[in-house]
Structure 1
Amino acid sequence: MAATREVALLVGQIHKHKPLIRCSLIIQKYCMCTGSQQPQLTHREVQRSGGIVTNKYGEPLAVELVLPKPSLKNYCADFEEELKQHEIKYAHQLAQYKKARGHLQNIIGLKQMSTLNRNRSLKNLFPSGLFEPKARPMFRKPFLKPIRSSVRTDGRPSHYLFYTSKPRYYEVMNAIALKLEHIQRYEEFMVSQGISKPSSEAMMSWADGGRPMTLKTFQKKCGHISTQDYLRFVLLLQKTVVQPYSYIHRDWINQFRRFFDRTRPPKDKKEPKIHVDEKGRQYSVAEGKKKTSLARVKLFVKGTGEVTVNGKPMVAYFPKALDREQLLSPLDVTKKLTTTDVEAEAILGGHRSQARAIRIALSKCLTVFVSEEEREMLRLAGLFKRDSRIRERKKPGQKKARKKHTWKRR
């Protein structure tokens, strides 16, 4: 009995501030075989004041305890203790970070290092062949997610949609739905007054030119949400915007949209300049890229149609007709095959990539010598656009990027 009372007192101290309904105790039970006292785990619902429950043989079965009811004072004390432990953990990690930073600076031999230099030095000190960059060694300042209390001083949640797990997101969705309902009711009222559509001056086509805010911007406003939730937001916002009388809530709706200034002229792209050589011939210089190939082209306006690549005639450097067609396609579109001379230099890559890199550079050179109509023809033919495709990597467990091994039954 004495052992049982001690255990009961101990359990009561452990669960002093815990709002428990069930009580689990370790009590001493007499063993008929060995004659010794053996601990046994039991549980019983706490319903009335303390006492010992025994069976018909007088053996103790459970100890009934009266546990304190949960209170706001206990909750605040637990939260302050958790916050204190959080600060201690952060201070310990920050001390370790400063110590490691000092060791790294001593190894490299620099008194002050930026974050970029630290990561570069780690790359040299700990070379890694891991494919994922996030899995490689890195040196970062410790960051612990701040603890915030989601309960007010009266013990209630701080937000009325707290139990939805996304309170700010559903608050925005609910507000948009209420605005949509108000707009629709206003439209019904105007129809009852004999006005079917709003005036063009009132609408002012305010809905044109705007788009919903991006996913990242919306996540900053409403916390972390999935792409599916963001698409629901976009559909609901678009449905509200296309309403005839949506302009009555224009200022409120625009906080969830982004606009582009169409009156501002586009930035002028850098065009090659016209140069004059010693013989008085005009020429322009431009560069092009394709995969790893780099090309630099010099185009002379008054010429005889001579094309050289790396000091060799085009036919000798590109034996395949397809490569030659790729290179000469800008001159073919503008009909300047026999009136211009081309000097090209290409490095890296194969013949196919070099020919396409020269084609892009040659198209840029022609822009300063042709009319607007011919420039538009080059653009529509896709001769200014760089082909960004690259070779797909081989996959493990396969012969190539897509090709699989031959299946064998045995």
Structure 2
Amino acid sequence: METTLLRAGFRRAIASSYNPARRRVLLLHASRRTYASPSEPSGPIQAARPINFTSDTNQFARSTTNSNKNTSQDQDYDRLLHRVRIVPASPSYFTATPRYTDDLLYLSSLYRKYQLLPRLAPGTEPRVAWKTLAEYRTETGEPVRQKGYTIMLSLLKRLNKIHTALLPVEVQRALQRYKRRIQPFFDRAKPIEIDELGRARAVGRRKACHAVVFLVEGEGECLINGRSLTEYFGRLHDRESAVWPLKATQRLDKYNVWAVAKGGGTTGQAEAITLGLAKALLAHEPDLKEALRRAGCVTRDPRRVERKKAGKLKARKMPAWVKR
């Protein structure tokens, strides 16, 4: 014991002559060596006492066995809930978009499960209008990105290609959830009927023009707003445009035409009569649809005149001084 004290004293004396940083280190080592704990245990090692939980669980078990003590059951259940940690139902709970992640994982599992089922030929699958990204964001209340929603739509389109006769019920329910409430592909135009007088009534539009056309079998007469074709349209191009469906199908002398045109200019009215006349002609002869389509009479031209902008000479032409 004396040797140890002398050794410690000499070390402290030597350390006092060194710089302060090394002095602290030496003192630390000296203190560790001087006051070190014994290497051998002084007694047997004892384990910690077991955690003594309250008797709420035992009371809860006893109360559940006895159905007559409803009040005590509620009290014990409330005590038990205070010590229970609530676990999220979904593993995606801590992500930024848990509902989207769950939906994507569910669709992926469905595709892996039924990817070997027979598929429809390309182009024969049912046409479906899916929900837009804005609608899906409103439904889930999450900031879903466009790229992520595109991945989901690709899975939906793959599931939609499964053969209709073999489509599982769970896939049908999953697809129904992402469809729009109103499917535009199911809408069909009301067919034009021929009345008791043999007339077919159709409506045509072009730009700001509106034309109602009546077509009946006859000798080739044409009246527009109570005037003949040559009187109403001064330009030859407008006259040919008005009766172009009959001329393209070589039926100028087989039908009579009456039309009421409003709005726009003469060219727009002539093209509106073209569309209305083609629709009325299809009511009489539906087999002419391909010929009228090739002639460009069935579809409406959506183009409109681009109006002049402020600061420009025309719709797009800039003044000369700007170019300089």
The CA deviation at 1:408 is 3.7
- Is 1:270 paired with 2:191? yes
Tell me what 1:232 maps to. Answer: 151
Return the match for 1:386 from 293, 300, 318.
300
Return the match for 1:297 from 189, 213, 217.
213
Q: Which has the higher contact order (CA 8 A, sep 6+)?
A: 2
- Seq. identity, %: 27
More helix by share: 2
- Is 1:377 paired with 2:291? yes
Tell me what 1:334 maps to. Answer: 249
Return the match for 1:257 from 159, 169, 175.
175
- Is 1:174 paired with 2:105? yes
- Is 1:223 paired with 2:156? no
Q: Deviations for 1:11-59, whole angstroms, at most 9, x for unmatched residues?
A: xxxxxxxxxxxxxxxxxxxxxxxxxxxxxxxxxxxxxxxxxxxxxxxxx
1:164 alignment partner AA: T
Tell me what 1:352 maps to. Answer: 267
Which aligned runs of 4 or more in structure 1 are off by greater than 6 angstroms? 155-158, 240-244
Tell me what 1:86 maps to. Answer: none
Tell me what 1:214 maps to. Answer: 131
The CA deviation at 1:168 is 0.8
CA contact (8 A) 1:297 1:342 kept: yes
CA contact (8 A) 1:272 1:286 kept: no
3-state DSSP of counterpart to 2:243:
helix
2:213 alignment partner AA: V
Report the count of equivalent residues: 228
The CA deviation at 1:301 is 1.4
Alpha-carbon distance in structure 1 between the residues aligned to 2:240 and 2:187: 33
Alpha-carbon distance in structure 1 between the residues aligned to 2:170 and 2:283: 48
CA contact (8 A) 2:160 2:175 kept: no
Alpha-carbon distance in structure 1 between the residues aligned to 2:192 and 2:159: 44
2:222 alignment partner AA: V
The CA deviation at 1:335 is 1.6
Normalization by structure 1: what TM-score?
Answer: 0.45
The CA deviation at 1:267 is 5.0
CA contact (8 A) 2:118 2:162 kept: no
The CA deviation at 1:354 is 0.5
Alpha-carbon distance in structure 2 between the residues aligned to 1:231 and 1:209: 19
Counterparts of residues 37-116 of structure 1 (less than 5 Å): none
The CA deviation at 1:251 is 3.7
Q: Deviations for 1:285-314, whole angstroms, at most 9, x for unmatched residues?
A: 4332222212233334122x3323223332
Alpha-carbon distance in structure 2 between the residues aligned to 1:368 and 1:240: 39
Alpha-carbon distance in structure 1 between the residues aligned to 2:199 and 2:114: 63
3-state DSSP of counterpart to 1:299:
strand
3-state DSSP of counterpart to 1:294:
strand
More strand by share: 1
Normalization by structure 2: what TM-score?
Answer: 0.55
2:292 alignment partner AA: L
2:148 alignment partner AA: D
3-state DSSP of counterpart to 1:384:
coil
1:161 alignment partner AA: S
Alpha-carbon distance in structure 2 between the residues aligned to 1:242 and 1:288: 37
- Is 1:165 paired with 2:96? yes
The CA deviation at 1:230 is 1.4
3-state DSSP of counterpart to 1:287:
strand
